[in-house]
Structure 1
């Protein structure tokens, strides 16, 4: 029986898994250090009190049970070494997993440059545990403000370094959430400040100018101070120093300045880029091994115009499905299918029920309608998974 292993239970890994289970005669193993699939783009809703942990996670054990495949198993393991030639995966737990085909879907993490002293004190809210910690810390600070408002009303200053999608969305959600917090309680100590720092000459570098303009106007209306052409130089205690000569006394520093591939990619002797992402061909295969694939954020994926695609859910879906299909094609000795990665559009959450987006590059939407489109896209992904984990839970309770 052919053995297929997926390392990483994120968006790309789940799409690949759902494709692979169509073949009932192979053994499939999903490995992840977490027990849940983190719906990372929705973590900002968690921080802004629009959802809870159950809304932004999918249990991997019950998901695998719900897929109804006799030879599918989920293993909560930390991979330490991959032997590509012996086709063995070694783990911190001393368990060895063998494979005939391997899909790398371990994703990326926030890159904290070592050249910036003190940056280790910044929050990496892409990780669910840190997102929850930040949410609790922020709420505690708000409570202290209203508790002491008759005596003093110190500034609370959140500094978000990095004005890409992650930075813009978290700044917008935090600004909107805090405004509603003070408004609902009629509290007077509403002196919360948020600064968004961009090293480029604009926010959302790489996106079209109209979408940037819509987003910038929304941030401005939320009272967010946008500082461009500026880099973080160093951090000391609660002070952040910048290349424009300024220093900011902050309560929280959130760094979203870039990403790098999961450390596990270093275990593979295949071609990678400067971010550690695995370079793949049009079939999602690695440079040296036709039985090893890489998908989603952990891979450098190009479209048919040879342009590098940005890491997002759409590319995770396309690459995951393609890798799953091609492994089944290899097993069945069929011709491989070329992937056709392309963006269907982009939607940016900008606080409350307001979003902005570009649909297929043809037209722009903003406000409530863009928010509803974004919500529909998320629900169309999450609802089928909820059914699977519900079925899996019922099956598990019968055992």
Structure 2
């Protein structure tokens, strides 16, 4: 029986898995160091108290149980080494997993430039446990503000570094949440400030100008201070220093700068780019080993024109499905299918029930309509997974 292993239970890994289970005669193993699939684009709702931990995660144990496949296992392990020659994966837990075909879908993490001193004190909300920690500390500070409002009313200042999608979304959600919080309680000490720092001349560099304009206006309406054409230089206990010489006081610094591939990508001798992403061909294969594929954010993926695709859920879907299909094609001796990923569009959460979006590069939407479209897109991905984890949960309870 052919053994197929997926490393990473994120978007790309799940899409690959949904293809692989169509073949009931292979052994499939999903490996992830976490027991859950983090629905990362929805974490901002968690921080803003619009959802719970259960709403932004998919349990991988019950998910795998929910598939109708007798040879599917989930292993909660941390990969340490990939032995290509002997087709073995070595883990921190001393368990060895064998494979005939491998799909690496381990994702990325936030890149913290070592040149910025004090950056290790910044919050990284890409990781779910760090996002929850930030949420708890932020709420504790809000409580202390209200408790001490007659004695002192110190500023609470959140500095968001990076004005790409992640930075803009977290800044907007936090601003909206704080406005709603102080209004609901009619608290007098409502001096929470949010600044967002962009190294470019505007927020959301690379996106269409109308999306930038809509987002810029929304941030302004929410009272967010947008600082452009400068970078973070250092973080001290009470203030940030920017490269333009400005010093900003801070209570929290949320860093949403660039990305780098999971360290797992370095565990195999294949071509990688400067971010550590694995360079794949049009079939999602690595350059040296035809039985080893990479998908999602961990891979450098290009369309059929050679244009680099940005890391996103859409590209994770295209590449994950393609990698899964091509593993099955190889097993059956069929020709491989080329992957030509296309962006369906982009949707930006801008606080509360307000969003902005570009649909297929044709239509620009904003406000409640864009929010409802974003909500529908998320639901269409999550709903079938919820059915699977409920089925898997029921199976576990019967044993």
Q: In which range does the TM-score fall when normalised by the shorter chain?
A: over 0.9
- Paired with 2:53 and 2:165, the residues of 1 have a C-alpha distance of 22
Is 1:324 aligned to residue 330 of structure 2?
Answer: no
Gaps of 5+ in 2: none
Aligned residue for 2:274? 274
Gaps of 5+ in 1: none
- Paired with 1:263 and 1:68, the residues of 2 have a C-alpha distance of 32
- Paired with 1:238 and 1:361, the residues of 2 have a C-alpha distance of 43
Per the alignment, in what secondary structure is the counterpart of residue 397 of structure 2?
helix
Aligned residue for 1:234? 234
Q: 1:305 Cα deviation (Å)?
A: 1.2
Q: 1:30 Cα deviation (Å)?
A: 0.1
Per the alignment, in what secondary structure is the counterpart of residue 28 of structure 1?
strand
Q: 1:238 Cα deviation (Å)?
A: 2.2
Give the root-mean-square deviation of aligned CA atoms.
Answer: 0.5
Aligned residue for 1:10? 10
Aligned residue for 2:264? 264
Aligned residue for 2:191? 191
Q: After TM superposition, list the pairs within 5 Å mapping 1:352-391 onto structure 2.
A: 352-391=352-391
Aligned residue for 2:138? 138
Deviations 1:124-144 (A, max 9, x none): 111111111111111111111
- Paired with 2:179 and 2:190, the residues of 1 have a C-alpha distance of 8
User: Runs ≥4 in structure 1, deviation > 4 angstroms?
Assistant: none
- Paired with 1:146 and 1:384, the residues of 2 have a C-alpha distance of 42
- TM-score, normalised to structure 1's length? 0.99
Per the alignment, in what secondary structure is the counterpart of residue 115 of structure 1?
coil
Q: After TM superposition, list the pairs within 5 Å mapping 1:2-41 onto structure 2.
A: 2-41=2-41
Q: After TM superposition, list the pairs within 5 Å mapping 1:198-217 onto structure 2.
A: 198-217=198-217
Aligned residue for 1:178? 178
- Paired with 1:394 and 1:195, the residues of 2 have a C-alpha distance of 47
Per the alignment, in what secondary structure is the counterpart of residue 109 of structure 2?
strand
Deviations 1:60-80 (A, max 9, x none): 000000012100000000000
Aligned residue for 2:335? 335
Is 1:117 aligned to residue 117 of structure 2?
Answer: yes
Is 1:71 aligned to residue 71 of structure 2?
Answer: yes
- TM-score, normalised to structure 2's length? 0.99
Per the alignment, in what secondary structure is the counterpart of residue 19 of structure 2?
helix
